[in-house]
Structure 1
Amino acid sequence: MARGQQEPGEAGTFPRAPTQQAWESMSAQERARAVAALPGEVTWEEMAPPEGDRHFQAKVRALDALKGYFTRQRRKVYLAAELPVYYPGEKRFATDLLAVLDVEPHERDKWVVSAEGKGLNFVLEVHVGGDRKKDASLNVERYARLGIPELLESEEFVALLEEMMTGLHRRADEASQRAEEEAQRAQEEAQRAQEIERRLAESERRIAELQAEVEHLKKNER
């Protein structure tokens, strides 16, 4: 399929991102044009109809919980709701909530995997009414095929992230301890260098005194 073009032969033909093979063959300018050509919205044909306040509030609470968690952890994460997502050569989709770890959290109109260099780490679909098969079957199959981790409940996801952060903190503590040990060794080396310099200065001073004493003795002998 040509870069950034629509997929033919499909009802309501929708734009797709270039395949990864096509992406890798593009220049920087061609990639920028391909990304710009991808719409930052999805059509009604691609989305489920609105499901009311319960659906909306559930997304808002989950989004706020994740924002608060990562703010406390001081870890970069990009969070979005109903954002168009473009995997290479795949039909675009928009999840109720998505998260991508360790990326810049600036505002985006879409997530283009090839351009970002990273796929989604987490998606959350909130089901209140309508077609349950979409969330429980079709979306699960799609996300599994794309390599997106299993759809955990928001509490489970936060627990998993806390476990991950515990490991990160442990490694950070170990790195900090190694840094302190290196700093201590550097300080000891600096102290030894200062002691050597002090001894050299003392030796030079003593030599100068001895030379002066020798000169004085020579004068007296005359």
Structure 2
Amino acid sequence: MSTEERAQVVESLPGEVTWDEMAMPEGDLHSQAKLETLDVLRGFFSPQGRRVYLGTELPVYYPDERRFAPDLLAVRDVETHPRQKWVVSHEGKGLEWVMEVHVGGDRKKDAEYNVERYARLRVAEYFIYDRARERLEAYRLPTPEASRYERIAPEKGRYRSEVLGLEFELAGGKLRLWAGNALLLKSHELLEEESRRAEEESRKREEAERRAEEESRKREEAERRLVKLQAELEQLRGPGTRPPS
């Protein structure tokens, strides 16, 4: 098959997953957790200029496999342009990191079937965020050639992703991401933080201006008192009186 013919085949593949292939919708809690995590990841990688493709519910095609659409996926060292689908034979790479968000219903698909399938497809890391139970599970292939996962043990409550170079933690009922000791903020949190910082800087400037004005007022007052005292001293000396030499 020529390159042009292969491109035509890839283009003809559906860019949407049918209702039969999709799990039942899980509502706002599901979409919120998924999109907030995607937002944080993009906010971390984009400013660095790193070539990490991040997607959500993107139809994925592996050879001889039924297509699927993970809640979140990541692949390193590839072009980051928008895609309608991920075709492994066309991209030249499979998925490296996947997260599924579970809110309600049967956990078997995420916690059992996907653990076996993603390992078999050699997805390096698989994370499960069970929002309903406030639980996080993480798996990693011990070697690139392995086809069975090992659980990632948390360290001080954090699960490290070697693929992303980040740590995941459940805190206060929310999924939080860390880069070393730095907590990664969501877009709206960054805006709020920037707004607070701007307000604090404005408050400090106003305070500095007030102090400068107060110091200027005190200097002027001291100068006026000095002039007044000098005038009073001259009056006490009387006309023609000179200070002793």
Q: TM-score, normalised by structure 2?
A: 0.53
- Asked if structure 1 preserves the Cα contact closer than 8 Å seen for 2:102 and 2:128, the reply is no
Residue aligned with 1:152, SS: strand
For 1:72 and 1:30, locate their aligned partners in 2 and report how far apart those are by CA, in whole Å. Answer: 37
Relative contact order: is structure 1 or structure 2 higher (C-alpha 8 Å, sep ≥ 6)?
1
Residue aligned with 1:82, SS: coil
For 1:89 and 1:158, locate their aligned partners in 2 and report how far apart those are by CA, in whole Å. Answer: 28
For 1:153 and 1:130, locate their aligned partners in 2 and report how far apart those are by CA, in whole Å. Answer: 14
For 1:66 and 1:157, locate their aligned partners in 2 and report how far apart those are by CA, in whole Å. Answer: 14
How do 1:5-154 and structure 2 match up within 5 A?
A: 26-152=1-127
- Asked if structure 2 preserves the Cα contact closer than 8 Å seen for 1:66 and 1:158, the reply is no
Instruction: Describe the shift of the 1:57–1:148 C-alpha distance in structure 2 as closer, same or farther (beyond 3 A).
Output: same
- Asked if structure 1 preserves the Cα contact closer than 8 Å seen for 2:58 and 2:86, the reply is yes
Instruction: Describe the shift of the 1:139–1:51 C-alpha distance in structure 2 as closer, same or farther (beyond 3 A).
Output: same
Between Structure 1 and Structure 2, the one with more helix by share is 1
Residue aligned with 1:103, SS: coil
Higher mean alpha-carbon deviation, 150-159 vs 139-148, is at: 150-159
- Asked if structure 1 preserves the Cα contact closer than 8 Å seen for 2:72 and 2:98, the reply is yes
What amino acid maps onto 1:44 in structure 2? Answer: W
Q: Where does the alignment leave 5 or more consecutive residues of structure 1 unmatched?
A: 1-25, 167-222
Of residues 146, 156, 160, the one that matches 2:159 is 156
For 1:159 and 1:89, locate their aligned partners in 2 and report how far apart those are by CA, in whole Å. Answer: 28
Q: TM-score, normalised by structure 1?
A: 0.58
How many residues of Structure 1 are paired with residues of Structure 2 in the alignment?
Answer: 140
Q: Where does the alignment leave 5 or more consecutive residues of structure 2 unmatched?
A: 130-157, 167-178, 181-245
Q: How far is the alpha carbon of 1:156 from its aligned partner?
A: 3.3
Q: Percent identity?
A: 63
For 1:159 and 1:119, locate their aligned partners in 2 and report how far apart those are by CA, in whole Å. Answer: 16
Q: How far is the alpha carbon of 1:142 from its aligned partner?
A: 0.8
